[in-house]
Copies of this chain bind each other. A is one copy, B any other.
Amino acid sequence: MIKVGVIGGTGYTGAELLRLLTGHPNAEIAAVTSRSNQGELVSDIYPNLRGIVDLPFVAPELDKLSGCDVVFFATPHGVAQSSVPGFLEVGIKVIDLSADFRLRDQSVWEKWYGQPHQASGLLSRAVYGLPEVNREAIIEADLVACAGCYPTSIQLGLLPLLRQGCVDSSDIIANSASGVSGAGRQANIATLLSEASDSFKAYGASGHRHQPEIEQGLEDIAGQSVGLTFIPHLLPINRGIHTTIYANLVDLNVDVQELYERHFKNEPFVDVLPAGSHPETRTVRGSNYCRIAVHRPDNGRKVVVLVVEDNLTKGASGQAIQCMNLMFDLPETLGLMMPGLLP
């Protein structure tokens, strides 16, 4: 039984970790932390866990988590970096769901997050947590920086094309749309139901923090520089990311459907739909699947890839547990094979 600590248990990725861990046969939730809610029951904030998780929130301190085999950081960006070294020192593995260790280039991180990085020495030690790209390294890692929600959908959507050099990597467009849970559980006018429901909009069109992570990941895959235009949009739903990718084929003879099916045929959580399909976010609601369809309108040069995932599951907490399974030599799919909740 793996003893698990969840740091930052009041946010949505923390809650999703708890939901998934309660169904994991080889994991046991040892402690859940929250600075602001310590002493309260976890199930007071998340009543869906009543009768299932009976723990109180404890302070986010090392001694509260010293019996853990692994801790997950489900904290805002900037929080994990100061605590991670302490955990690693005492032999506790760390899976960070925030952006703190995703970028290898410290200066890029500091530019986008507007603060000095407090554990830059660990940036090279951290393994990027996207199993479909990085499985072997994750198995060996003691510090995993889970891929972000948008970056996961975009990297998985482009993986076969970029790996094979099938598209012009200098002009790629990722048009993404996310449910509101991606904005977290903070009091905020812009994400009130009365502001965000029954509406749709783009945001961050002039630049978004996820951009450098996506570019770094795509360049790792492509082995060359990548020119990406990334525009995120806000969907009036809780969960779900849909990314529509546009790229230009360099070889018009490639059979993109066959390419995708072949590339992902052994991936347990990437489901390539039959030709002509359109994935729906509801088919992955609460599940760890990523569903992909590939189109070539009019059989032309443009390839259009449609990708869906649940931003809280494959885009965050499910992926984190997938990484945990790898790090602890468990079957990769353990505790993660539930279908999406539909309808």
Contact = CB atoms under 8 A, between A and B. Distances in A.
State which size class the interface on A falls in.
35 or more
Contacts of A78: none
B48 A340 contact: yes
Count this chain's copies in the assembly: 4
Contacts of A314: none
A229 interface: yes
Contacts of A289: 50-51
B281 A201 contact: yes
Given A205-B306, A236-B237, A282-B199, A22 B339 contact: yes
Contact of A197 (B12, B193, B293): B193
Nearest to A184: B194
A337 B173 CA distance: 37
A15 interface: yes
A216 interface: no
A49 to B, nearest CB: 5
A191 interface: yes
A155 interface: no
A181 B194 contact: yes
B246 A173 contact: yes
Contacts of A280: 47, 199-201
A134 to B, nearest CB: 22
A95 interface: no
A100 interface: no
A123 to B, nearest CB: 24
Contact of A193 (B193, B201, B240, B308): B193
Interface in A178-207: 179-181, 183, 185-189, 191-203, 205-207
B343 A239 contact: yes
- Point out which of A189, A198, A248 has the most chain B C-beta atoms below 10 A from its C-beta: A198
B242 A200 contact: yes
Contacts of A271: 50-51
Contacts of A90: none
B238 A244 contact: no
Contacts of A195: 185, 193, 343
Contacts of A200: 177, 235, 237, 240, 242, 280-281, 308
What are the 6 tightest A-B residue pairs by CB atom distance, in nearest-first order? A199-B282, A48-B340, A187-B187, A201-B280, A205-B295, A48-B342
18 contacts: A48-B282, A48-B287, A52-B339, A171-B248, A177-B233, A181-B194, A185-B343, A187-B188, A191-B193, A191-B194, A192-B193, A194-B343, A199-B237, A200-B240, A202-B306, A205-B297, A205-B304, A206-B297
